[in-house]
Amino acid sequence: MPAEKKVIVLGDSAVGKTEYVKSLLGLEFTPTHTPSVGVQVHQIKRRRINFAIWDIASGSRSGIFDGAIIRADYAIIVCDTNQDFYSKYVKNMICEIKEKCGNIPICIVYSKCEDEPENKLYRDFGVPTFRHSSKNKLYVFDAIDYFNSI
Ligand SMILES: Nc1nc2c(ncn2[C@@H]2O[C@H](COP(=O)(O)OP(=O)(O)O)[C@@H](O)[C@H]2O)c(=O)[nH]1
Ligand SMILES: [Mg+2]
């Protein structure tokens, strides 16, 4: 029986973390935003690997946040495709993940991509980047399959 892999899902408020996790779970899209509180953990199985997906609310107080991200195997930083002011936020987040979790695989998922052209170029933060739409259920497993492939 393979061990469970812990995936942390991080990002600024309202970027689409919870909807992204709901897509992974096969749940329907909700157009309204209900800010999440604290941390929610969901299990999924993908290609015979069990993943525990940790949806970590951006408002989590430092102590909760630190406790939630430690011992992660993989990290996903969600950014909103329609916003372009994340540069510092993402760089800091990558540093913080490395500091607290060591050299784990990290990737960026650009959410809400359904109206973006296929060839849109996303900012390069030196980690693999994927696009995703919870609304139209596009590219749902790309990031998880990337983790599965390494
Ligand atoms: N158009 C569109 N809206 C999205 C998508 N994903 C999330 N949203 C909307 O963005 C808002 C915030 O989503 P949520 O997952 O709750 O954000 P979180 O705070 O990062 O967990 C909600 O109103 C969602 O309906 C998407 O793929 N496309
Ligand atoms: Mg949320």
Query: What local confidence, expressed as pLDDT, does residue 37 receive?
Result: 87
Q: What is d(CA 35, CA 126) in angstroms, rounded to the nearest whole number?
A: 29
> First and final CA of the chain: distance in angstroms?
19
Of the candidates 62, 22, 52, 56, the one whose C-alpha atom is nearest the C-alpha of residue 36 is 56
Place of tokens 């195997």: 73
Hey, what amino acid is at 125?
F
Query: What local confidence, expressed as pLDDT, does residue 118 receive?
Result: 85
Atom nearest to 13 CA in ligand 1: 19
Query: What local confidence, expressed as pLDDT, does residue 120 receive?
Result: 87
Domain locations along the chain: 3-149
Query: What local confidence, expressed as pLDDT, does residue 27 receive?
Result: 97
Assigned architecture for domain 3-149? 3-Layer(aba) Sandwich (3.40)
Q: What is d(CA 6, CA 20) in angstroms, rounded to the nearest whole number?
A: 16
Whether residue 129 contacts residue 146, with contact meaning beta carbons closer than 8 Å, is answered with no
Sheet holding 39-46, edge to edge: 39-46, 49-56, 5-10, 74-80, 106-111, 129-131
Atom nearest to 19 CA in ligand 1: 15
Ligand with smallest separation from the Cα of 109: 1
Query: What local confidence, expressed as pLDDT, does residue 71 receive?
Result: 94
Is residue 23 within 6 Å of ligand 1 at its C-beta?
no
Q: Which two tokens stand for residue 90?
A: 């993402």
Ligand with smallest separation from the Cα of 115: 1
Q: Which element (helix H / strand E) includes 85?
A: none
Is residue 16 within 6 Å of ligand 1 at its C-beta?
yes
Q: How far is the CA of 9 from the centre of ligand 2 (A)?
A: 10
User: For each of the chain's 150 residues, which pLDDT tens digit applies?
Assistant: 558 999 999 999 999 999 999 999 999 999 998 888 899 999 999 999 999 999 999 877 677 788 899 999 999 999 999 887 778 889 999 999 999 999 999 999 999 999 999 888 888 899 999 999 999 999 999 999 999 999
Q: Which two tokens stand for residue 123?
A: 């900012």
Predicted TM-score (pTM) of this structure: 0.96
Query: What local confidence, expressed as pLDDT, does residue 2 receive?
Result: 59
